[in-house]
């Protein structure tokens, strides 16, 4: 009689890829979710239909022609925010990241503890088989019990991974809403046509420093965070 006793990797208990992405080091994942919406937000704000309807292809072409003309004339007012700097120094992002990492560590430790307990049960069972100190009927029952325990561990692994992904998504949404809300209010004073998200290795390969409004945005975000 044989029994499957392999366990998930104890050194990395959650599903491969989940912890690595969920650690959000350097704000990478937040940046992806956060700044994808910034251009969309301002395109919506600055490309409305006169009738209040959806923007059609002709209106988009006209708007793009206007943007091209204004770029040539140098009258298009564009600023950018360094997303890495924002995520590194925005107090809310720091707080949420710490809370997330604490939850991740708690779940990983719990899963590792359960895996060690399961492995101990497996080793005890193997010793009993080798010593002949367990009957055939009891061995079959124990084998079924171990298989059930292994299945429950796999399900718990999926549950914890899903919980972390949900928490991460909720965190990203909260940050996105906070920053876009501030940018909308901030831009009423500044009057930029577009505020872009800049990060090394991203879609914007070069940006003049004079267009960088990161510190202004960061100061306002942290001021509002401190007054909450």
Report pLDDT digits (tens) over 106-124: 999 999 999 999 999 999 9
> Tokens in use for 217?
């945005």
Residue 37, Cα to own-chain centre: how many angstroms?
A: 14
The answer to whether the beta carbons of residues 96 and 169 sit under 8 Å apart is no
- List, for residues 170-183, the tens digit of each pLDDT value: 999 999 999 999 99
Total length of the chain: 228
The answer to whether the beta carbons of residues 207 and 198 sit under 8 Å apart is yes
Domain ranges of the chain: 18-226
Instruction: Return the SS3 of 195.
Output: strand
pTM of structure:
0.66
Say if residue 71's pLDDT is above 70.
Answer: no
- The Cα–Cα gap between 27 and 175 comes to 11
Say if residue 133's pLDDT is above 60.
Answer: yes
For residue 14, what pLDDT band results from cuts at 50, 70 and 90?
Answer: very low
Calculated CA dihedral for residues 61, 62, 67, 72, nearest 10 degrees: 100
């Amino acid at each position: 009689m044989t029994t499957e006793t392999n366990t998930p990797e104890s050194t990395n208990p959650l599903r491969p890829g989940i912890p690595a992405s969920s650690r959000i080091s350097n704000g990478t994942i937040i940046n992806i979710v956060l700044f994808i919406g910034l251009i969309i937000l301002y395109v919506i704000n600055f490309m409305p239909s006169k009738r209040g309807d959806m923007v059609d292809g002709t209106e988009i072409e006209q708007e793009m022609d206007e943007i091209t003309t204004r770029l040539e004339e140098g009258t298009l007012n564009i600023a950018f925010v360094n997303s890495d700097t924002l995520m590194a120094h925005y107090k809310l992002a720091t707080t949420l990241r710490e809370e997330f990492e604490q939850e991740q560590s708690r779940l990983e430790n719990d899963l590792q503890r359960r895996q060690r307990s399961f492995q101990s049960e497996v080793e005890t069972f193997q010793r009993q088989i080798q010593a002949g100190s367990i009957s055939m009927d009891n061995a079959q029952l124990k084998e079924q019990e171990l298989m059930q325990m292994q299945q429950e561990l796999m399900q718990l692994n999926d549950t914890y991974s899903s919980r972390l992904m949900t928490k991460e998504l909720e965190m990203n949404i909260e940050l996105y809403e906070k920053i876009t809300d501030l940018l909308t209010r901030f831009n009423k004073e500044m009057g930029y046509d577009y505020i872009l998200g800049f990060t090394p290795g991203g879609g914007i390969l070069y940006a003049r420093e004079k267009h960088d409004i990161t510190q202004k945005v960061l100061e306002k975000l942290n001021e509002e965070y401190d007054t909450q």
